[in-house]
């Protein structure tokens, strides 16, 4: 198959906005990746989405507020596509992750909202979406899905490497010296710390780790949190943004600074305790967590190998997830696997994703022959 240029779109668990990025690929090799951009959600939309997440388990897909949030989020994605389109000649397709509002693989449930038909109609492009359902339906975790992309980018790299994404939730990909891929969600990323900072300072995150830096870690609170069976469970495993929300209750009597320090330690300790088949020679960090200097310092202290930003590999740590969904969109078209037993626990290597093509007539030849 010839190489295609895809726009990948990701609205992550921190609910900060939409990331969009270009990737040129045949679904196996990465010819080029980037540039990308991010568009924030308004504080109002963020609050509505946060509220929706907390009641998603009991919300019907026809709920009018859910529909309204889905539309507003999709409109922001359309803006992102139009802005990115100005930076390149031809776009072939879009990989559209949507916004996860509920993730419960043990109930074969994973729910990403986003109106793929509206996105396709407004942009005139084919849209691949619903990346996680097939994996969850087959008994997999449905997440993380970035590992195939990390492995493709690492092609030719020697030794074992960990790529650590610290978003709202944190997840790791380990590519071992033989090229085998292992992965899982490690535990909380920034989401608890974001909620804590918002509660105490009204800011969307603990900017530059200012709160955590002057706080003290309360191990008497931390240890019971780390006693959760999730941390001793072998990989593959995945999380919902709200899985460890009770930690907010556990730290509620602490000062803003001590609460922040304890939540940072929770993220770091969960990463350190992640059961991996071998120790990586280096950890490369992507996602917004790498911008929190306190988190990065603590990681460097806790982990036995060097901890660096993915920028050291020449990658853009803000765009990586968006690029990934462009890459996976092309893999969907080629019916290549998006997941595998050591990544999501799916019984075999599985493809996934669905095509929505609202306004293309005639279909491009590469799409029509699928
Ligand atoms: N200067 C900063 N100081 C502290 N934290 C920061 C800073 N910049 C970004 N962050 C953190 O990064 C987060 C955003 O990270 P990112 O965009 O990777 O998350 P996401 O993609 O939404 O999450 P996920 O990967 O779980 O889907 C913010 O919510 C914040 O916690
Ligand atoms: C269900 C869901 O949306 N999971 C996200 C979330 O954010 C980080 C972590 O939890 C990861 O498992 C996943 O996203 C990335 C892009 C993934 O699938 O690799």
Pairing verdict, β 30-40 and 17-25: antiparallel
Q: What is the pTM of this model?
A: 0.97
**Cα 256 to Cα 98: distance, rounded to the nearest angstrom:** 32
Give yes or no for a contact between 153 and 247, defined as CB atoms under 8 angstroms apart.
Answer: no
Give yes or no for a contact between 74 and 115, defined as CB atoms under 8 angstroms apart.
Answer: yes
With a cut of 70, list the residues of the chain below it in pLDDT: 360-362, 368-370
**Cα 200 to Cα 334: distance, rounded to the nearest angstrom:** 48
Q: Domain 4-143+319-368: give its CATH superfamily.
A: ATPase, nucleotide binding domain (3.30.420.40)
Q: How far is the CA of 214 from the centre of ligand 2 (A)?
A: 30
Q: Which atom of ligand 2 is nearest to the CA of 173?
A: 19
The domains of the chain are located at 4-143+319-368, 147-313
Quote the pLDDT of residue 370. Answer: 57
Q: How far is the CA of 369 from the centre of ligand 2 (A)?
A: 31
Residue nearest to atom 12 of ligand 1 (CA): 288
Mutation to probe ligand 1, out of 142, 205, 309 (largest number of atoms < 8 A from CB): 205
Which of 198-236 are b and which e, b meaning 16 or more Cβ less than 10 Å from the residue's Cβ?
beeeeebbbeebbbbbebebbeebbeebbeeebbeeebb
Which class is 147-313 in CATH? Answer: alpha beta
Quote the pLDDT of residue 30. Answer: 98
Give yes or no for a contact between 95 and 326, defined as CB atoms under 8 angstroms apart.
Answer: yes
**Cα 356 to Cα 129: distance, rounded to the nearest angstrom:** 8
**Cα 153 to Cα 311: distance, rounded to the nearest angstrom:** 13
Quote the pLDDT of residue 101. Answer: 98
Hey, how many other C-beta atoms are within 10 angstroms of the C-beta on 247? 25
What is Dmax (Cα atoms) for the chain?
Answer: 64
Give yes or no for a contact between 138 and 347, defined as CB atoms under 8 angstroms apart.
Answer: yes
The answer to the question of whether 127 is labelled as a binding residue is: no
Q: Which atom of ligand 1 is nearest to the CA of 204?
A: 29
Q: Which atom of ligand 1 is nearest to the CA of 10?
A: 21
Residue nearest to atom 11 of ligand 1 (CA): 288
**Cα 19 to Cα 8: distance, rounded to the nearest angstrom:** 8
Ligand 1 lining (C-beta closer than 6 Å): 12-14, 16, 165, 167-169, 189-190, 194, 205-209, 287-289, 291-292, 321
The answer to the question of whether 25 is labelled as a binding residue is: no
Quote the pLDDT of residue 8. Answer: 98
The answer to the question of whether 17 is labelled as a binding residue is: yes
Quote the pLDDT of residue 363. Answer: 72
Quote the pLDDT of residue 102. Answer: 98
The answer to the question of whether 350 is labelled as a binding residue is: no
Residue listed under structure tokens 């078209």? 333
249 Cβ contact list (under 8 Å, min separation 6): none
Number of residues written out for the chain: 370
Please indicate whether the domains covering 4-143+319-368 and 147-313 agree at the CATH topology level. yes
State the burial class of residue 115 (Cβ atoms within 10 Å of its Cβ: 0-12, 13-18, 19+). Answer: buried
């Amino acid at each position: 198959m010839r190489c295609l240029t895809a726009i990948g779109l990701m609205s992550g668990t921190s609910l900060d906005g939409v990331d969009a990025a270009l990737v040129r690929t045949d679904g196996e090799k990465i010819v080029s990746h980037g540039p990308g951009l991010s568009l924030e959600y308004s504080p109002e939309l963020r609050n509505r989405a946060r509220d929706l997440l907390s009641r998603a388990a009991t919300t019907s897909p026809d709920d009018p507020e859910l529909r309204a949030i889905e539309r507003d989020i999709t409109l922001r994605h359309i803006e992102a596509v139009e802005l990115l389109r100005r930076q390149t000649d031809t776009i072939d397709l879009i990989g559209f992750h949507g916004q996860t509002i509920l993730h419960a693989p043990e109930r074969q449930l994973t729910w990403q909202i986003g109106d793929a038909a509206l996105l396709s109609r407004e942009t005139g492009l084919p849209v691949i979406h619903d990346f996680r359902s097939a994996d969850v339906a087959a008994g997999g975790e449905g997440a993380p899905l970035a590992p195939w992309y990390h492995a493709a980018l690492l092609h030719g790299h020697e030794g074992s490497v960990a790529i650590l994404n610290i978003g709202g939730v944190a997840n790791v990909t380990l590519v071992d010296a033989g090229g085998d891929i292992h992965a899982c969600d490690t535990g909380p990323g920034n989401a608890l710390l974001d909620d804590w900072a918002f509660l105490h300072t009204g800011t969307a995150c603990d900017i530059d780790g200012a709160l955590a830096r002057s706080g003290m870690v309360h191990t008497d609170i931390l240890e019971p949190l780390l006693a959760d069976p999730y941390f001793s469970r072998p990989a593959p495993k995945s999380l919902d943004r709200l899985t460890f929300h009770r930690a907010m209750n556990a730290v509620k009597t602490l000062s803003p600074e001590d609460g922040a320090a304890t939540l940072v330690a929770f993220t770091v300790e969960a990463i350190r305790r992640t059961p991996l088949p071998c120790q990586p020679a280096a950890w490369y960090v992507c996602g917004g967590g790498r911008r929190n200097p306190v988190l990065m310092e603590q990681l460097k202290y806790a982990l036995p190998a060097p901890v660096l930003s993915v920028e050291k590999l020449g990658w853009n740590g803000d765009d990586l997830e968006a690029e990934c969904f462009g890459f996976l969109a092309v893999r969907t078209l080629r019916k290549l696997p998006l997941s595998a037993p050591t990544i999501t626990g799916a019984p075999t290597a599985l493809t996934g994703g669905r095509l929505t093509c609202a306004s293309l007539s005639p279909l491009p030849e590469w799409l029509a022959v699928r």
